[in-house]
Amino acid sequence: MKMIQKLKFIFEPKSVAIIGASKTPNKIGNVLLRNFLDTKFPGKVYAVNPKYEEVLGVKCYPSIKKINGPVDCVIIATPAQTVPAILTECAAKKVGGVIILSGGFEEVKRDDLAAQIREIAKKYEMPVVGPNCLGVFNPYTKVDSIFLPMYKLERPKPGGIAFVTQSGAVGSTVVDLTAYYGMGISKFISYGNATVLDESDYLEYLMNDKTTETIILYIEGAKDGRKLLQTMKKVNKIKPIVVLKAGKAAGGQAAARSHTGNIAGSYLAYQAAFKQAKVTEAEGIIEVFDFVKIFEQPRPKGNHIAVITNGGGIGVLATDHIENEGLVLAEFSEKTKNALQEILPEYGNVANPLDLVADAGVEAYAKAIDIMMDEPNIDALIIIVLTQTPPIDERIIHVLTKASDDRRKPIATISIGGTYTEVYRRILESKGVPSYNSPLSAVKAIDKLVKYANYQKQLK
């Protein structure tokens, strides 16, 4: 528990030392130091490498011991065999926490080196992230140990989504996509081999993190399945967890062992644990995004869904998926029916889904949404907008953003199309409006939100 509390030195350090700082462009030690300089990290940054007197204009120390003053966080990017000795020096220096990016431990059967790291960390109660990882990124404090250059991998803005990942490759992909869609994150944690701290420890930390609202967990294999189950149960009651499990088949399990040195284990056991903990399981990276963005919406009171559309066929498809997922099409009160009839053309019919017809403009959407927000029989709204129709223009973004910000009911939007439509979707995503490019994706996301809301109600 004490190590978990000390993670603040890694995520919120006042000073950082990069061991293995390098003058060679594109080497990890060079990229790391440049990250901290380019983002204008507000604390002190120290370079450590006995080969140099300075790197990128920063004074370079021969070892961590030679630095005057305290060091909160140390990032190690040196060969595996050098790490135990460096870690011992960090302990003597009373460093707050350590990130080990270096590979060459359990994943290549160097369990002896891993054991040394574990022993030193536990003896001095010093939290260690890694080894064999990308480390952490905190946009709030500008801590960035991701050694991929910023021009190749864009960093997301501050937000409420935390991402805990066993794989650096999957992690970097999600970070890049999050930034691309304008979504924000609170913490990124790539923990690699989990030699000292594991996924359960990071979940525990995030449970009490004020900036984190939703947690994504990518996992290949846990060393302590029982601990993971109990932690997920505890954390998911407070903050929703969306989990992506890899290594489901035999080939994937073998790959996981050589990747991070962890045995993936039986997928059926993990699946049972996910169900018991009531976490939301995704089937792939795209579904992770589909689910996590809906959790930023308010919790629905029930499972009655209303659909607004300007394309009848897409509304029918959404209706099919609503019924297939076990959700219910909401029935409108007479007051709502009368109000909706006034905004429809003479040939329009009040029904659910509500077809505003292809010549409906932005004003019709605004009025229909307002009416449905007042309807007590509706728990959530799915709003389909075919942006290709002539009456729809950029004002629809304001209408949908206002609906999302209303917070009385959750909404999900659907827009299907090419380049023009995707521009609209990216803008909506950047404003926190859940946007989907298929009815199935939107309905499945709403269903996950409904299930989580029901779970939280049962706890009260």
Q: State percent of the chain over pLDDT 70.
A: 96
Cis geometry, peptide bond prior to residue 131 (ω within 30 degrees of 0):
yes
Q: How confident is the model at residue 248 (pLDDT cuts 50, 70, 90)?
A: confident
What is the CATH number that goes with domain 304-459?
A: 3.40.50.261
pLDDT surpassing 90 at residue 393: yes
The Cβ of residue 316 has, within 10 Å, a number of other Cβ atoms equal to 14
User: Residue 2 has what pLDDT?
Assistant: 86
CB 33 within 8 A of CB 61: no
Strand partners, 190: 135, 165
- Return the minimum-mean-pLDDT range out of 51-55, 206-210, 230-234, 247-251: 247-251
User: Residue 254 has what pLDDT?
Assistant: 47
What is the CATH number that goes with domain 1-132?
A: 3.40.50.720
153-296: CATH class: alpha beta
Round to whole Å and give the CA distance between 28 and 189.
18
Closest to 161 (Cα-Cα) out of 144, 181, 147? 181
Q: Which residue pairs, CB below 8 angstroms and at least 24 apart, start in 268-271?
A: 269/225, 270/219, 270/225, 270/245, 271/245
pLDDT surpassing 90 at residue 1: no
AA identity, residue 295: F
Q: State percent of the chain over pLDDT 90.
A: 88
Rounded mean pLDDT of 341-355? 91
User: Residue 359 has what pLDDT?
Assistant: 83
Round to whole Å and give the CA distance between 56 and 235.
42
Mean pLDDT of the chain: 93
User: Residue 280 has what pLDDT?
Assistant: 97
pLDDT surpassing 90 at residue 343: yes
pLDDT surpassing 50 at residue 257: no
User: Residue 263 has what pLDDT?
Assistant: 46
Closest to 317 (Cα-Cα) out of 400, 415, 425, 438? 438
Q: What are phi and psi of 75, to 5 degrees?
A: -110, 120
pLDDT surpassing 60 at residue 255: no
pLDDT surpassing 60 at residue 264: no
Q: Which residue intervals of the chain bear CATH 3.40.50.261?
A: 153-296, 304-459
pLDDT in tens, 115-148: 999 999 999 999 999 999 999 999 999 999 999 9
Strand partners, 384: 414
Closest to 306 (Cα-Cα) out of 347, 245, 351, 344? 351
CB 277 within 8 A of CB 185: no
Tokens of 46: 């120290």
350 CB burial (10 A radius; 0-12, 13-18, 19+): middle
pLDDT surpassing 80 at residue 265: no
Q: How confident is the model at residue 247 (pLDDT cuts 50, 70, 90)?
A: confident
- Return the minimum-mean-pLDDT range out of 108-112, 306-310, 332-336, 444-448: 108-112
* 214 secondary structure, DSSP code: E
pTM assigned to the model: 0.92
Q: Which residue intervals of the chain bear CATH 3.40.50.720?
A: 1-132
User: Residue 5 has what pLDDT?
Assistant: 94
Give the SS3 label for residue 262. coil
Round to whole Å and give the CA distance between 162 and 202.
10
Which helix H or strand E contains 384, and what residues bound it? strand 380-384
* 80 secondary structure, DSSP code: G
Cα dihedral 244/288/196/93 (nearest 10): 170
Round to whole Å and give the CA distance between 167 and 43.
28
pLDDT in tens, 42-90: 999 999 999 999 999 999 999 999 999 999 999 999 999 999 999 999 9
Round to whole Å and give the CA distance between 376 and 372.
8
CA 129 vs. chain centroid, Å, equals 18
pLDDT surpassing 50 at residue 420: yes
User: Residue 345 has what pLDDT?
Assistant: 86
pLDDT surpassing 90 at residue 417: yes
Cis geometry, peptide bond prior to residue 156 (ω within 30 degrees of 0):
no
Closest to 270 (Cα-Cα) out of 166, 125, 148? 166
pLDDT surpassing 80 at residue 293: yes
User: Residue 258 has what pLDDT?
Assistant: 46
